Chain A
Amino acid sequence: MNFNQAVKLAIAGIKGNKMRSFLTMLGVIIGVSTVIILVSVGQGSTKQVTGQIESMGSNLISVSIRGRGGVSGLNYQEALKLGDRTGVSGAAPTISGNVTVKFGTKTVDTSLEGTNDKYATVRNQKTSSGRFLLPIDITYRQKVVLLGSEVSRELFGFGNPLNQEVKINGVKFKVIGILEEKGSSMGGSNDDKVLIPITTAMRLLANPQISSISIQAKTKEDVDTVVRQLEAALLRKFKDEDNYRVFNQAEMLSTVNQVTGTLTLMLGGIAGVSLLVGGIGIMNIMLVSVTERTREIGIRKAIGAKRRDIMRQFLVEAVVVSSIGGILGILIGFLGSKGLGSLLKISTVISPQVVLLAFGFSVLVGVFFGWFPANKAARLKPIDALRFE
């Protein structure tokens, strides 16, 4: 008996007992679809977080200053000096605070960042319209503002905000640009903020202290050296490690990847267990099927079926059941992950490797759990099988 006939026979066997076959498959269907859904959620969030971190700029080092006033503070000039070293391509010191922005009768409470022109390249922040801050804006303490896309929408709707005047904490500013949308990240929305020149911000907030500095290293290789130099310089200045923190984007990325990778693996593992349970279901049903069909096995053996023919018949049946279950599971997993993604507004990523892996595993489950019942069937003595009632 060749393989084609064995498959035909298996399909006939499955059709002959539709309800039972479906219930047997259900274990595999649930297993495969949960593997795909959970892993796609895991990989989706990994991709999202990674994308956000990367969108902050490449080779980025963030220094945040915690101290306030007096010795523990850092002013703009000191911050620039800190960033002025070989291996650094730009430094953008930032002052931040919360402000109220008003246009006409509409007001928005948002966060304000005062920074310099380097911010655009260091933080990879583009404008969707208008221009970014220029050195001249910093030097002359221009009252100009760039609006985050969310702020712009709330204040102007679909109107054009460029060259309009808004009031920030009561002071008039001219809108010179709209920041390109970046989406939200762990630190909150990147679009719900306004940018003004750092020198203007010091006056507006009445605070000359820098809260953070974004520094871009020239190359990936420079990052570590620069981080070490910065830490040494900061320690000299503050004498206390608690007053500042240096974040390395690459390090953050690998940490996040590690965490989400573990999470994905765990989710996949949990789903894998259900696939295993599905396999045990197949074995259970196949054992029942072998007992039920003992007489059939006897008849087949009497008219010349060899051990391997019987073995193949039952093994192929188990594999066909698990494979059909696997295919249905992939379809459901696909729909499920898309559905879950749009329902929970999270991004899901279905990688072909995971689909292949889940399908391959479901076939393996069929082989593994079909083996024992198939072997049991093949080993029956023809006369015993024929006499079985």
Chain B
Amino acid sequence: MIQIKNLSKVYQTGSTMLQVLKEVSLHIRPQEFVAIIGPSGSGKSTLMNMIGCLDTPTSGSVIIDNHSTSSLSEDELAEIRNSKIGFIFQSFNLLSKLNALENVELPLIYRGVNTNERRQKAVKFLTLVGLDDRMDHLPSQLSGGQQQRVAVARALAGEPPIILADEPTGALDSKSGKELISILHRLNELGHTIVLITHDLDIAKQAKRVVRIHDGMIVSDTKAGD
């Protein structure tokens, strides 16, 4: 599903070069639930941006569902993001002027899905995350946990095989956080590949596979039960 080979990323600020990822290789199979854990500055967010096709690597390759991302144009990358990947961000990243339903519809709008089908799907996924009674609320009228669930519904709307969650519980209280993790588990059972980025060991432990990253390198890769 996701194949990362010798991935390096170097940021250049002025004359100083900062290598955030050093020759990282990682293979994530379909329907895996992987947690990528590491302290801040370890390069885990950069890794996620590469997987999510939001950023381009300095060297190495990222292959998503048999598409090598380095050979794709910006618009083709947008298409990959739209059809293959659902994002869940730490800061929710909902559009503040759109209500819950419209936010969830957004990926389908860019896919060119017609109004009726769009609405149906958005309602379906909002119901799945338990927000069927909050559909016309603006993000500002929802609690953090509810906003994150809208974001989950949005990530699901395009029915992507991969869900990328970057510190999804970071801005939530512990109860909402637990609920969110259980939603992710349910999605995994439904067949989505889940990649969860976190610095919280307790959350990482709930994944089936834990990849530890430190100073831009993978230091351990353990499966649950090992």
Assess the A303–B97 pair: CB atoms within 8 A: no
- Confirm or deny: B149 has a beta carbon within 8 angstroms of a beta carbon on chain A: no
**Nearest-CB distance from B145 to chain A (Å)?**
20
Assess the B110–A304 pair: CB atoms within 8 A: yes
Assess the A299–B81 pair: CB atoms within 8 A: no
Residue in chain A with minimal CB distance to B75 = A306
Number of interface residues, chain B, beta carbon within 8 A: 25
Residue in chain A with minimal CB distance to B79 = A304
Partner of A1, one of B54, B93, B112, B158: B112
Interface centre among B83, B87, B93, B154, by most chain A C-beta atoms within 10 angstroms, is: B93
Main secondary structure on A side of the interface with B: helix
A386 proximity list for chain B (CB < 8 A) = 54, 89, 93
Assess the A16–B49 pair: CB atoms within 8 A: no
Assess the A300–B106 pair: CB atoms within 8 A: yes
Q: Can you identify 5 A-B contacts, CB atoms within 8 angstroms?
A: A299-B94, A299-B95, A301-B78, A303-B106, A306-B75
Question: Complex Cα distance A298/B93, Å?
Answer: 9
Assess the A304–B93 pair: CB atoms within 8 A: no
Assess the A309–B54 pair: CB atoms within 8 A: no
With A303-B110, A304-B110 known to touch, is A383 a contact of B49 (CB < 8 Å)? yes
Partner of B82, one of A13, A299, A303: A303
Partner of A304, one of B49, B55, B78, B95: B78
Assess the B154–A2 pair: CB atoms within 8 A: no
Assess the B87–A303 pair: CB atoms within 8 A: yes
- Confirm or deny: A12 has a beta carbon within 8 angstroms of a beta carbon on chain B: yes
Assess the A306–B54 pair: CB atoms within 8 A: no
Give the contacts of B80-109 with A (CB-CB under 8 A). Answer: 81-83, 87, 89, 93-95, 97, 106-107, 109
Question: Complex Cα distance A259/B74, Å?
Answer: 57
Assess the A302–B154 pair: CB atoms within 8 A: no
Partner of B107, one of A296, A304, A306: A304
- Confirm or deny: A338 has a beta carbon within 8 angstroms of a beta carbon on chain B: no
Known contacts A298-B93, A304-B158; 10 additional CB pairs below 8 A are A2-B112, A301-B78, A301-B81, A302-B93, A303-B81, A303-B106, A304-B79, A304-B107, A304-B111, A381-B55
B79 proximity list for chain A (CB < 8 A) = 304, 306
Question: Complex Cα distance A1/B110, Å?
Answer: 5
Partner of B97, one of A1, A2, A5, A16: A16
Partner of B81, one of A1, A5, A295, A304: A304
Assess the A305–B78 pair: CB atoms within 8 A: yes
Residue in chain B with minimal CB distance to A305 = B110
B168 proximity list for chain A (CB < 8 A) = none
Question: Complex Cα distance A302/B79, Å?
Answer: 10
B-contact 0/1 string along A247-269, CB 8 Å cutoff: 00000000000000000000000
Question: Complex Cα distance A296/B109, Å?
Answer: 15
**Nearest-CB distance from B179 to chain A (Å)?**
23
Residue in chain A with minimal CB distance to B109 = A1
Assess the A382–B54 pair: CB atoms within 8 A: yes
Partner of A307, one of B74, B95, B109: B74
**Nearest-CB distance from A15 to chain B (Å)?**
9
